[in-house]
Structure 1
Amino acid sequence: MERFIISSETVLPISSPPIIKGSVFVDKGKIEDVGSTEELLRKYRDIKRIDLGRGILLPGFINAHVHLELGCITKKIKRSGGFGLWLGQVIKALREERTEEEIEASVRDGINELIESGVTTVGEISSFGLDRYPLKESGLRIVLFVELFDRHKDFWNLFGFEKNEVFEERPFPHAPYSCSPEFLKTVIDFSRKNHIPIGIHLAESREEVKFIRGEKNVFEAKIFPMVGREVFQRSKAPSPFGYLKALGFFNETKVTAVHMVHISKEEASEIPDYSIGVVMCPRSNLFLGVGLPPVLQYRGYERIGIGTDGLSSNLNLNIFEELRSFYLLFSKRLGQRASFLTVYLATLGGARALFLEDRIGSIEKGKEADLIFLKPRHTFSDPYLSVISSCKEDLKLVMVRGREIHSKPR
């Protein structure tokens, strides 16, 4: 990998204030220095320089939760009827015969959409394993969450859970309503023993809350009979978070919890006591009519990111549109720092939610050179607002570990 200095009118390190006329020195895929262009050109002579000119250089976006394999069923899903009806449609659509080639094609289409909206890291939920090789070939940085149910209980821990510089596999028990407490405990024990972080869908819908409380719910009434699943015994709890807490799910392990919509103020205050990364998916939540994440309750919490979810519950995988929607929904509540906090979710916040902050998420010495460059058509005095107002046409460069994986004329 080559050494170079990459310069831009504006650099947004995220972990520190914006730099006007800034540069980043990259060596062997890692960031060696960041500062003013004048300073870096004086310190490092006779090194290749890439001058991007007017625009914004910032860390690559992190789409912390997506289901690429479900892109093939998008046309089968109607946008109405609530969470239970939606889940039933997904199950029915997945039962219809389709080839591996069709699923892989939808995965590749999704990968292209991610890259074209500035994503350099993806938290992918792998249901069938047909996303693994297309993702490995993509140039992206990948956290591949292997989706697990009780039916996998006799062999799931035989999976290798590969890990290298840009590809990492982690267990992902689907949800508290679809995995028995015994199976959840097995996954927790495996995670602790092998020091592998895990993920789970948590507190997404009111139906999940009803299930945990032992009230009438759509899972036991309709979904379980549909899939031939018997009702499993479990302890009642006031909430999904409380249920997993009682199981010891959060003890001595790292958990990426996705959605986290139905969380009380008291529960939100307990999250910092554990290693929990929160991933919000606001457009998916709106699509399914399950409510919105309580962002004010998470204010000040650093391990919080954003994801588009899959095309079965969203209109597209465009992270620009996800950020813009978040900003429009919550900017008044978040106040003066709303624009920074919005961009933070898709950069350093996402890295922290996936427990990758030692490697990515900000532009600082020692981190991987996962970078994107934007040339916004609509600019503001607030550079973070310029990022939020951007679209994929404004994206001119995408780098992972200092290697260009997407570019357009600047």
Structure 2
Amino acid sequence: MPLTRKAYRAAILHSLADPAEVGIEASYEYFEDGLLVIENGRISALGHAGDLLPRLPADIDITHYQDALITPGLIDTHIHLPQTGMVGAYGEQLLDWLNTYTFPCESQFADKAHAEEVADVFIKELLRNGTTTALVFGSVHPQSVNAFFEAAEKLDLRMIAGKVMMDRNAPDYLTDTAESSYQQSKALIERWHGKGRLHYAVTPRFAPTSTPEQLALAGQLLGEYPDLYMQTHISENKQEIEWVKALFPERDGYLDVYDHYKLLGERSVFAHGVHLCDEECARLAETGSAVAFCPTSNLFLGSGLFNLPMAEKHKLNVGLGTDVGGGTSFSLLQTLNEAYKVMQLQGARLSPFKSLYLATLGGARALRLEDRIGTLQPGTDADFIVLDYNATPLLSYRLKQANNIAETLFVLMTLGDDRTVLQTYAAGNRVHQR
């Protein structure tokens, strides 16, 4: 293959570390006039344009953006493919919402053509919003995952997904069995895990919809394939927590159910964690597990406020999740807007640089992919986005009043949405143009 080399010039910003651990100033790198050089789908150089331009070959193709900011592609650590068609559904809290809206919507994925149509819409929405990697729940049907991976593979996206395992406490038309969920998951793992930039996640929906037998087989899969992911929900809603206690009286609490079935580990991501206690945070951190913070969804379903300072105290890996369809936007910028408010309601601050970290490098660390994505470090995948300072008249006017990159970044996260994303690149290829 001939060497393909391109360069992109603009203001450039990326996270280097968690501000909670190193302080804000050491947590990011910003180039007011920066240059990003891409070779064969990877980043080969990053720095000040004045330093790098003289070293580049004369014939290199350079794209120069005015009034724009390049950042790493955004990372969504919790989202549901089959709920795309019911985003913004009215009037319920978690358990009623599942029965009223979610389960009927997910039942449609028995039809392969429907699964393919939604996968196309879903991936286009992710890319329009600047999300280049997502940890995705399919439905209980293997075809939901096949359709998603087929669409993601065509664009060489780094994506993680899994078939939901659910063998009780759900409508008959939507349940599998412990054995069928194991066999179907295994077939999907063999077909997709590690293919291109795709990864598989073992996906029990949540403890109440899996029998002990199914949870044991989920744990067995993780033992059989050492680099698999595991995704599920935890401590989202107080009624849900009481339900888990009633279903598993022999366990010490919600997290202990998953712990008992060997579902905690370095690639395990637990969505929500709104009502976790100190001991549970400590145990998640000890096992290298991560939590997906889903502020939009937690507010929309009335679930509660995630305690980010407690997670930071325990050095627990936290990523950001839109949780569509409980969440009401595919935009991680809009999700950060809500995250800021969730912290405000608890008397805590969320700096724009911590927000940037959560949506990029923090998500990459939660997924153990920080050597591939989440920053613009040379050697990593060329997954990046271009944010347009003039995307809307208000944004354009407001940013003219901004005095520094911290203020600019905060305004982008407060007023920004899908319109702000001018272009999205994955593995060096442009996969979205506004």
Range into which the TM-score falls when normalised by the shorter chain:
0.7 to 0.9
- Partner secondary structure for residue 315 of structure 1: coil
TM-score by length of 1: 0.86
For 1:27 and 1:334, locate their aligned partners in 2 and report how far apart those are by CA, in whole Å: 45
- Which shows bigger deviation, 18-27 or 156-165? 156-165
For 1:56 and 1:168, locate their aligned partners in 2 and report how far apart those are by CA, in whole Å: 29
Q: Which of the residues 47, 60, 69 maps onto 1:35? A: 47
Correspondence 1:272 to 2:285: yes
Correspondence 1:190 to 2:190: no
- Partner secondary structure for residue 163 of structure 2: strand
Correspondence 1:105 to 2:120: no
TM-score by length of 2: 0.81
2:85 touches 2:105 (CA, 8 Å); kept in 1?
no
Q: Which of the residues 19, 22, 29 maps onto 2:34? A: 22
2:129 touches 2:332 (CA, 8 Å); kept in 1?
yes
Residues 235-384 of structure 1 correspond to what in structure 2 (within 5 A)? 235-250=249-264, 254-299=267-312, 301=315, 303-311=317-325, 313-331=326-344, 338-376=351-389, 377=396, 378-379=398-399, 380=402, 381=404, 382=406, 383-384=408-409
1:397 touches 1:407 (CA, 8 Å); kept in 2?
yes
> How big is the shift at 1:399?
0.4
Which residue matches 2:420? 394
Which residue matches 1:227? none
Unaligned runs of 5+ in 1: 215-231
Distance 1:372 1:93, change over 3 A: closer
Q: Deviations 1:173-206 (Å, cap 9, x if unpaired)?
A: 1111111233222222221231112111122221
Which residue matches 2:393? none
> How big is the shift at 1:53?
2.6
Which residue matches 1:85? 96
Distance 1:318 1:188, change over 3 A: same
1:55 touches 1:375 (CA, 8 Å); kept in 2?
yes
For 1:332 and 1:384, locate their aligned partners in 2 and report how far apart those are by CA, in whole Å: 21
1:363 is matched by which residue type in structure 2? L
2:200 is matched by which residue type in structure 1? E
For 1:149 and 1:344, locate their aligned partners in 2 and report how far apart those are by CA, in whole Å: 33
Distance 1:287 1:332, change over 3 A: closer
For 1:63 and 1:97, locate their aligned partners in 2 and report how far apart those are by CA, in whole Å: 22
For 1:74 and 1:308, locate their aligned partners in 2 and report how far apart those are by CA, in whole Å: 11
Which residue matches 2:25? none
- Partner secondary structure for residue 371 of structure 2: coil
For 2:422 and 2:355, locate their aligned partners in 1 and report how far apart those are by CA, in whole Å: 21
For 2:109 and 2:213, locate their aligned partners in 1 and report how far apart those are by CA, in whole Å: 32
Q: Deviations 1:250-290 (Å, cap 9, x if unpaired)?
A: 25x52111111120123223322112121111111222222
Correspondence 1:171 to 2:202: yes
RMSD (Å) for aligned C-alpha atoms: 2.5
- Which shows bigger deviation, 140-149 or 257-266? 140-149
2:12 touches 2:31 (CA, 8 Å); kept in 1?
yes
Unaligned runs of 5+ in 2: 17-27, 168-175, 390-395
1:79 touches 1:287 (CA, 8 Å); kept in 2?
no
> How big is the shift at 1:103?
4.5
Correspondence 1:115 to 2:141: no
Which residue matches 1:199? 231
Q: Greater helix percent: which structure?
A: 2
Distance 1:358 1:67, change over 3 A: same
Residues 90-169 of structure 1 correspond to what in structure 2 (within 5 A)? 90-95=102-107, 100-127=112-139, 128=141, 129-130=143-144, 131-132=147-148, 133-138=150-155, 140-150=157-167, 151-154=176-179, 155-161=183-189, 162=192, 163-169=194-200
Which residue matches 1:224? none
Which residue matches 2:7? 5
> How big is the shift at 1:345?
1.4
2:8 is matched by which residue type in structure 1? I
Which residue matches 2:430? 404
1:303 is matched by which residue type in structure 2? N
Distance 1:73 1:103, change over 3 A: farther
Distance 1:191 1:31, change over 3 A: same
> How big is the shift at 1:93?
4.7
For 2:272 and 2:109, locate their aligned partners in 1 and report how far apart those are by CA, in whole Å: 30
